[in-house]
Every structure is written in structure tokens, then in C-alpha cells.
Amino acid sequence: MLLLSIDTSGKQGSIALARAGERSAERDDVEVIEIAPLIGGTFSAQLIPQISDLLSRNGFTKHEIGAFAVASGPGSFTGLRIGLAAVKALAEVLGKPIAAVSLLEACVFASGAQGKIMAALDAGRSDVYVGEYEVPTKGHAPREHLLTRSEFISEARGWTVATPDPVLAESARAAGLVISSLEPITAAAVGQLGWRKIQSGETVTPEQLEANYIRRTDAEMLEKSGS
């Protein structure tokens, strides 16, 4: 299956094209063909032309895409909306499934760690996006929420912290926490976890695809404060 994955959650983004499930039925059978970078600030202008170019360079058309994986958050409100809108449009036209991938879960997956894993991503404003996972799953639903940096350090005791952010990693290490330092999460990692979700039937339709912001938008906070 040809799998197209997209990450527009941060200042920089990427698109990945991969073959999935062609060598075996294993969940990790994902062969990345190419990763194309996206320059932050111009996602809306770049995304569709870059997808077209990526497919063309590798001898494919959009009609050969078998499924999509997309970073659904947390991250930039504008960036996430652009990526999700593109995937919604393509999946609806092509009638293909979508795997919505939490970047926090992608951190846990990329770490390969076992036990109580706390994924952490910089949320700006001195805040941290945190995802609390248990690997392997023991019936506990993961919890994703927003903490201040001091709350993060306090609550991470007893967990393995998985993060691609060097500043967060250093802060956690200085506090004596167990760290799994990661490479930056790209569309390739989104695709690898997305393929697992597709095999497990954890897919959504274009109508069901939504962003996982965790932090409320400024407009929502203003509305709440005025109510």
C-alpha cells in the first residue's frame, strides 16, 4: 500500500511517501520512499504542490495512494488546520482511510521505551504538552494535557520522559529524571505509527478528522473569560 503522511504541526513540517505492508504483515513494515520538507509560514501555499511533486518524482499519481496518516496535534493551530484540510480533501475525493496521529503518542512510539512513558513537547508560553502512556497498554487510557514547566518536572517523577526537545530534555535531566532523547518527529514517524493504527482499524473519515489542540485557542479563552 502507498501511504502518504503529513506533519504541519510546527514551525517546520514534512511530507513522507512510504510503502506499507508490502514485505510482510508486520505492523512495522513501512519502507519510507522519500521525505519532503515544508518551510514554516508558507504551508498553505506549499502543501498541495509539494504532494504533487513528491508523487511525480517517484512515479506515482494520487490515485495510487492507499491511505493517509496526519499529525492531528498538538501544535500550531494554523499549521494543523492546513494539514488536516488537505488530508480531508484528498481522502474524500479518493475514498481512502485516514489515521490521525497524536505527536505525543508518536514520541512514545519512537522512544521504544517500556513502562510509564511521559511524552513532552514545548507548548510555548513556558508550558509543556504532556502525554502519559503505559507501554504495553494495561487498560489505562492515555492522558494528554497541558502543564507549566515546573508542573511538568514535578509530575514526571517516576516516569521515563520521551522528548525531541533538547531544552526540555536538559531540564528533566537536571532534575534527575529518566530521559529518552529523540530525533525530531517527522512525517515519516507519523506514517509509521499511522500504519499501525490503520492495521488496527483505528481510522477516521474526513468528516471525523479533527485537530487535537490540547490548549484552547486564544478566541476560545477570550470567550470563556467573557462568559
- Residue 128: the pLDDT is 97
* Antiparallel, parallel or unpaired: β 127-135 and 115-124: antiparallel
- Residue 24: the pLDDT is 66
Single out the residue of 40, 20, 43 nearest to residue 30, CA to CA.
20
* Antiparallel, parallel or unpaired: β 65-73 and 2-7: parallel
Dist CA 119 CA 74 (whole Å): 12
Q: Which domains does the chain have, with CATH numbers?
A: 2-102+185-226 (3.30.420.40), 104-181 (3.30.420.40)
Cα of first residue to Cα of last residue in the chain, in angstroms, is 49
Using DSSP's 3-state secondary structure scheme, residue 12 falls into coil
Single out the residue of 130, 140, 137 nearest to residue 162, CA to CA.
130
Low-confidence ranges of the chain (pLDDT < 70): 24-27, 138-140, 216-227
Please state, in angstroms and as integers, the Cα–Cα distance from residue 129 to each residue in 50, 53, 150, following that order: 29, 33, 13
Dist CA 77 CA 150 (whole Å): 24
pTM of the model: 0.91
Dist CA 161 CA 215 (whole Å): 20
State whether the Cα torsion 182-66-83-125 is positive or negative: negative
Q: What is the pLDDT of residues 6-56, one digit of tens each?
A: 999 999 999 999 999 877 666 678 999 999 999 877 888 899 999 999 999
Dist CA 74 CA 72 (whole Å): 7
Contact between residue 10 and residue 34 where contact means Cβ atoms under 8 Å apart: no
Dist CA 192 CA 23 (whole Å): 15
> Could you tell me the three cell numbers for 189?
514517524
Residue 22 identity (one-letter amino acid): E
Dist CA 170 CA 153 (whole Å): 11
Alpha helices in 6-102 (DSSP H): 43-57, 77-94
